[in-house]
């Protein structure tokens, strides 16, 4: 934990995080020689779980995990996870500030059902499913379990369930594989209930939209222009300053467990 008013060092090689630091010059600054006492930015490609363990062993005070890929079987070694320091997970399809917007717009009205429609090239399908599961978990306020499903060469369908206060809430997921190699995909999620929330994420177009409809009409959340890298670093600085625990890593692992079950259909 760092004291208020101190510039927090950040150890980062990814260009977008270095660029983001130029906008956070009052609260954070780049270091290039040592991770000790710094926020370590860990790329989510390759063996990122080992890189996180190395950052903790090297004395990092927090970790920003950037766009992590799915864990392979056998990589869930609890000793690798830095539970004793903040971990901020930068998931471009699951922005923390947009989640807050969607929850505030619902005014504590839990959904009765969530539907998730997604589409992506085969290479990006696992990530799109992972973000769809994360959105459903966030809006339903509970972890999900796979109940049934089926998969064909072109699509995957899954029936999920979240349990909250002893009651089961269903969620359906349809993931369609598209042609082409353009990165990113599309997620359209609708939370049904007394209040209806629709989340649209079009990654190739750079669109993130949250609309909530109720008896008072339709509310569209303001567009968030902050770059994901800057948001992640700012959240890391806030976590180090406040000392409050961050749920990002636990949420990511829970979402990955469900997404892996779906991927095995």
In this prediction, residue 2 carries a pLDDT of 46
Query: Is 186 inside any structural domain?
Result: yes
Cβ–Cβ < 8 Å for 197, 210: yes
Q: Do residue 102 and residue 186 come from a single domain?
A: yes
Residue at 258 is within a domain: no
Model confidence pLDDT, tens digit, residues 140-170: 988 999 999 999 999 999 999 998 877 789 9
Shared domain check, 157 and 44: no
Q: Is residue 254 one of the residues assigned to a domain? A: no
Closest CA to 77 of 49, 105, 99: 49
Shared domain check, 215 and 108:
yes
**CATH code of the domain in which 201 resides:** 3.30.360.10
What is the model's pLDDT at position 186? Answer: 93
Task: Please tell me the predicted confidence (pLDDT) of residue 76.
Answer: 62
Residues 159 and 197: their CA atoms lie apart, in Å, by 20
Q: 106, exposed or middle or buried, with CB in 10 Å at 0-12, 13-18, 19+? A: buried
List, for residues 206-255, the tens digit of each pLDDT value.
888 899 887 777 888 888 889 999 999 999 999 998 888 899 999 999 99
**Count of beta carbons in the 10 Å neighbourhood of residue 257:** 16
Answer whether residue 265 is part of any domain.
Answer: no
pLDDT, one tens digit per residue, over 52-85 is: 989 999 999 999 999 999 888 777 655 556 677 8
Q: What pLDDT shows up at residue 92?
A: 82
pLDDT tens sequence across 173-199 = 999 999 876 667 899 999 998 889 999
């Amino acid at each position: 934990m760092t004291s208020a008013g101190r510039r927090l060092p950040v150890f980062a090689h990814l260009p977008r995080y270095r660029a983001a630091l130029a906008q956070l010059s009052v609260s954070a600054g780049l270091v290039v020689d040592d991770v000790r006492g710094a926020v370590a930015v860990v790329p989510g490609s390759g063996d990122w779980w080992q890189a996180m363990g190395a950052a903790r062993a090297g004395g990092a005070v927090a970790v920003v995990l950037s766009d992590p890929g799915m864990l392979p079987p056998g990589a869930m070694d609890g000793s690798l996870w830095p539970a004793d320091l903040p971990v901020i997970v930068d998931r471009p399809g699951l922005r923390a500030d947009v989640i807050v917007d969607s929850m505030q717009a619902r005014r504590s009205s839990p959904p009765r059902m969530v539907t998730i429609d997604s589409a992506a090239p085969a290479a990006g399908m696992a990530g799109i499913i992972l973000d769809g599961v994360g959105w459903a978990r966030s809006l339903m306020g509970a972890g999900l379990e796979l109940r049934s499903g089926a998969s064909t060469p072109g699509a995957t369908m899954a029936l999920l369930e979240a349990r909250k206060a002893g009651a089961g809430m269903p969620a359906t997921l349809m993931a369609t594989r598209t042609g082409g190699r353009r990165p990113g995909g599309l997620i359209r999620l609708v939370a049904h209930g007394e209040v209806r929330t629709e989340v649209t994420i079009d990654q190739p177009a750079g669109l993130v939209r949250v609309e909530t409809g109720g008896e008072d009409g339709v509310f569209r959340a303001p567009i968030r222009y902050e770059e994901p890298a800057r948001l992640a670093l700012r959240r890391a600085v806030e976590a180090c300053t406040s000392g409050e625990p961050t749920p990002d890593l636990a949420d990511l692992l829970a979402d990955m467990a469900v997404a892996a079950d779906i991927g095995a259909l």
